[in-house]
Each structure stands twice: as structure tokens, then as C-alpha cells.
Chain A
Amino acid sequence: MRLFYELLKLSFRLQLTYRTANLAGLATNFFFGLLRAAVLVALYGTSHEVAGFSLPDAITYTGLSQATIACLSFFGWWEVMHSVYSGDVASDLLKPMNYFTFWLAQDLGRAVASLLVRGLTIMVAYALVFDIALPHSGWQWLAVGMALTLSLLVSFSYRFLINLAAFWTPDARGVGRFAFSLSWFLSGFLMPLRFFPNWFVRLCNLTPFPSMVNTVVEVYLGALTGSELIQALGTQLLWIGLLFVVCQLVLRAGVRKLVIQGG
């Protein structure tokens, strides 16, 4: 547990070190947020409410989805893959810690730093430019916190699983890119899932992807309450459990197959 905490702290600090990179990333995310907000304003036109979301809700959604990019490493995370190709994986596997937990600790540190530096700042910037929606009560904030934590765990397990492809092929980038683009499409990152046709939403709900972005958005905007909220959080937990088991099985098979190149 202590080791876990130290790793988390180290990667938290590492992430904060790259100030210009953080700032540049922030500017980019914010600009794209403005573009996406303009598209939604144009789509709404004269209607006040679409599929239960008001226009301020929809604009807040674009802020939230841009705010989670850095935290969830949504555009790509190749750390495990790099360590397999560089050979670092050999010494990492010898560490007195499960390989999954080893990376989870580091990813949590990175994510918390990103959430503070990039996520919160984007929402503050949004609040300055737009009339954004806020959760109504302390309980709702708590629910948002839980949904976000769970979404990070779903996202990490998925990213870890993708990276394990590196144990099998010397160039797993293609697999990774495909897997990431799949998550953009089905998670509600490009548009809130409510705006899609029903058959498409049903398809998405068969995958872990809505648990990454859409659930957080809906909880934040107060679209899920009572039993629906419990069910959404439960679904997130279910996916975490499932992905964790698959990660461990695939990892075990991968380690057995692993050939360390050079040294």
C-alpha cells in the first residue's frame, strides 16, 4: 500500500513538471471545446430542450468531455507498450507488486494531476465564457466524484488491456489506435449518447465505453437519479471487475510468451 502511494505521488509530481506542455494542452482542449459548443448551439437552433438536455446542459457537456481528455488519457496512452519495447518491462515484472497495480498507481497519480491542472481549469474557463450547469447538491457532487473515479478505473483497465498487445506483436500501434478510436465513438465523447438514435445507444450500452464518459456527464448534469444512478454506478463497477479479470488473464498469458529484446 505504501509502495502504491509513493508511486502515485511520484507520477503526480512528474505530470506537474511539464508546465508548458500542460498549458499548451489546456489551450488546445479549450479551443476544441469552443468549436464543439458552437456546433451544438447551431444544432439546437431555436429548440430549448433536446432529449432532456437544455442548451446550457449541452454546452456544459462539451466542457466536461474536453476536461476529461487529459485525465482519462483519451487520445492515447502507450506507457506499457513502450516499456515492453524498451525492455524495461523485465525489471518492472520483478518488482514486488502486481504489474497491473504497478501501472495503476502511476496512472492514478497522473490522472489526479491532470484533473487538477487541465480538467478543473477548463471548467473554470468554461464558466467564464458560458452559462454552465452545476450539480445542485453536495450529494450530487459526491455522485460525480464516484462516477469519475470509477470511469478512471474503467478507462485504465481498458488502456492497460490494449497495451498488452505489445506482448504479442512488435508493432501494436495499429491495434492501439483502433481501440482508442472505438472508445471515442461509443463512449459519448463525440456527442452525448442521448442525441443518437436508440438502436445505437443500445449497441453502446453493450460495451464498457459509456462507463468512461457518458455516465460522468449524465450524473453531473443530474440526468440520473435514484435507482438509475445506482444502476449506472453499478454498471461501472461491473465493467471494472470484468476488465480487471481479463487484464490479469491476458497478462499471465503474455508474460509466458514475452521475449525480452536486448538489455
Chain B
Amino acid sequence: MWSAIDIYCRLISIRIRAQLQYRISFLLDLVAAAFATATGFGTLALVLQRFDNIAGWTLGEVAFLYGMVETAFGIMDLFFSGFDPDTFGPMVQRGRFDQLLLRPVSITLQVLGSDIALRRLSRITQGIIVLGIALALVNIRWTPAKVAYLPLVLVSLIAFFGGLFIIGSTTTFWTVKRVEAINIFTYGGSEMMAYPMHIYTKWMRHFFTYIIPAIFLNYYPALYFLDKPDPLHMPSFAPFLSPVAGFGMLAAALAFWRFGIRHYTSTGT
């Protein structure tokens, strides 16, 4: 166990040092990433001046959804960079994954340690800022239960998104080339979860409830934190399913990942 942590830390520290080599480029990357993510929320805030609310949700309430998703996705994206289908795909394509399989260290650990995209720090920062805006605009009636549940929801969201990344990467074992359609679940899923889910058409909502349980990770917990009524009439424990959905997704993804590795045939490069 300790040796695993030690190896992970070493792998990661190499990645960090590598990225800090070109300092100006790194800083620009950071600024660019911050700007790119900030424009999403900025657009919503500007447009809401004209529209006032979105399906009964005020800017502050949507900011809560948005901030939670952005923070969680950013943290996940940082630590699961190695599982980002965008970087993992080429690894399979060029046969670099074969090298990892030869080493006597857990393969999952090695992939986790193969990259840590520091520019994601700006997405995390932006998420936290948006969450701060939400807390300033909305008067949440805090109870001890809510205070305890908030970090749990955040961690569940991270596990959920991490699971999606792992599933996306595992599919490249068969497709070799990264499948752009994976973005529907990762980036599409996170984009979708940044808005109140009752605005979507029924089949879309059902898909993200029963096939991919995204609705329990952000929308339902938000209803609980913001004391809003449930327009979809789910059972009253629905807001508390986020850890089950989040860690369930991660566990399913890891099982799929192990299945993928057992059936992995190299590209031969």
C-alpha cells in the first residue's frame, strides 16, 4: 500500500515538473482554460439579465448547480487526467499502453499517474468562485445534516465523472481511435447537469435517470440544499442517492476496465 502511494507520488511529480518547464506557455494555458470555462457561466449570467429566470430557477440557484458540477469535474479532470479518453486513446494507438502492462505495478495506478493536467486548476478555481456566487445570492438554510452532506455530494460527483472517464478510455481498447461520441457522456453529461434537469425532454431525462443516473448526483441534492419542491415526484429519499449513484458508477467503470484489460489485444505498434 505505502509503496503504491510512493510510486504514484513519484509519477505525478515528474508530470508536474514537466509542465512547469515552459512557464509562459503553462501560464497562458491556465489563463485560457480559466477564460474558456468562465465564459460559459458569464454568458448565462448576462443572458439572465434579459430572461430573469430559467424554468423557475434564479441565477443564484443555477449557479449552485453549475458551481458543483464545475468544481467536481475539474477535480476529477485533474486526478483522472491519465484516463482522459483524449490522452488515453493515443496511448493505446501508439502501443505505449503495452509498456505499462509490462511493469510490475498496478496498471490502474500507472494510468492514474501517467498524467496530471495542471491547467485544470483553473476550472476548479472557477467552479469554486461560481459556487461562492451561488452561496452569496441564495440564502441556504443550513442544517448540520446539509453541512455534512455537501462534501459527500461533491466526492460522489467526482467519483461519477471519474467513472465516465474510465468507461470512455476502456472503449478505446476496441475502437483504438478515440470515439468523439464519448463526449456526449462526459462533457455532455456535465453540461446537462449544470442546468435544472426538469427543463429537458422526457426521454433525455429518463436516459440520465435510469441508464446513467446523473440526475441523482446534482439535481436532486440541489433540491434538498435549496429547499425546492420536486416537480418530477420521485420518492423523498431521491436527494440522498448521490453516493450510491456516484460510487456505483465508479465501481461499474472499474469492473468494465478490468474486463477490458483482460480482453486487450495490442495494436502491435
Contacts of B196 in A (CB 8 A): 42
A38 touches B199 (CB 8 A): yes
Q: Is A27 in contact with chain B by the CB < 8 A criterion? A: yes
Contacts of B28 in A (CB 8 A): 174-175, 178
A178 touches B43 (CB 8 A): no
Contacts of B177 in A (CB 8 A): 20-21
CA distance A219 to B22 in the complex (A): 44
CA distance A39 to B22 in the complex (A): 40
Contacts of B180 in A (CB 8 A): 21, 24-25, 27-28
A51 touches B32 (CB 8 A): no
Contacts of A181 in B (CB 8 A): 32, 35-36, 39
Interface locus among B8-16, B49-57, B250-258: B49-57
B51 touches A43 (CB 8 A): yes
Q: Is A32 in contact with chain B by the CB < 8 A criterion? A: yes
CA distance A174 to B19 in the complex (A): 12
B9-49 interface bits toward A, Cβ cutoff 8 Å, 1 = contact, 0 = none: 00000000000001011111111110110011011001101
Q: Is A9 in contact with chain B by the CB < 8 A criterion? A: no
CA distance A193 to B39 in the complex (A): 14
CA distance A173 to B51 in the complex (A): 36
Q: Is B78 in contact with chain A by the CB < 8 A criterion? A: no
A42 touches B35 (CB 8 A): no
B181 touches A174 (CB 8 A): no
Which residues of A148-186 are within 8 A (CB) of B? Answer: 169-175, 177-178, 180-182, 184-185
Contacts of B53 in A (CB 8 A): 45
Q: How many residues of A contact B (CB 8 A)?
A: 39
* Residue of A35, A174, A185, A195 touching B50 (CB-CB under 8 A): A195
Interface locus among B94-102, B134-142, B183-191, B233-241: B183-191
Q: Is B195 in contact with chain A by the CB < 8 A criterion? A: yes
CA distance A174 to B119 in the complex (A): 10
Q: What's the minimum C-beta distance from B184 to chain A, rounded to whole angstroms?
A: 5
B181 touches A177 (CB 8 A): no
Contacts of A224 in B (CB 8 A): none
Contacts of A190 in B (CB 8 A): 39-40, 43
Q: What's the minimum C-beta distance from B94 to chain A, rounded to whole angstroms?
A: 16
Q: Is A16 in contact with chain B by the CB < 8 A criterion? A: no
Residue of B nearest to A45 (CB): B55
> With A41-B199, A177-B32 in contact, is A185–B188 under 8 Å at CB?
no
A182 touches B184 (CB 8 A): no
A169 touches B191 (CB 8 A): no
> With A27-B184, A195-B47 in contact, is A39–B29 under 8 Å at CB?
no
A34-70 interface bits toward B, Cβ cutoff 8 Å, 1 = contact, 0 = none: 1100110111110000110000000000000000000
Q: Is B200 in contact with chain A by the CB < 8 A criterion? A: yes
Q: What's the minimum C-beta distance from B11 to chain A, rounded to whole angstroms?
A: 22
CA distance A178 to B196 in the complex (A): 29
Q: Is A5 in contact with chain B by the CB < 8 A criterion? A: no
Q: What's the minimum C-beta distance from B106 to chain A, rounded to whole angstroms?
A: 31
Contacts of B200 in A (CB 8 A): 35, 38
Contacts of A178 in B (CB 8 A): 28, 31-32, 35-36
Q: What's the minimum C-beta distance from B262 to chain A, rounded to whole angstroms?
A: 25
Contacts of A196 in B (CB 8 A): 46-47, 50
B positions within 8 Å CB-CB of A: 22, 24-33, 35-36, 39-40, 42-43, 46-47, 49-51, 53-55, 177, 179-181, 183-184, 188, 191-192, 195-196, 199-201, 204
Considering the complex of A and B, which 7 residue pairs feature the smallest CB-CB distances, nearest first?
Answer: A174-B28, A181-B36, A178-B32, A42-B199, A174-B29, A177-B32, A42-B55
Pull 10 A–B residue pairs with CB atoms less than 8 Å apart, ordered by A: A27-B181, A28-B184, A38-B199, A38-B201, A42-B195, A45-B53, A169-B25, A174-B30, A185-B35, A190-B43
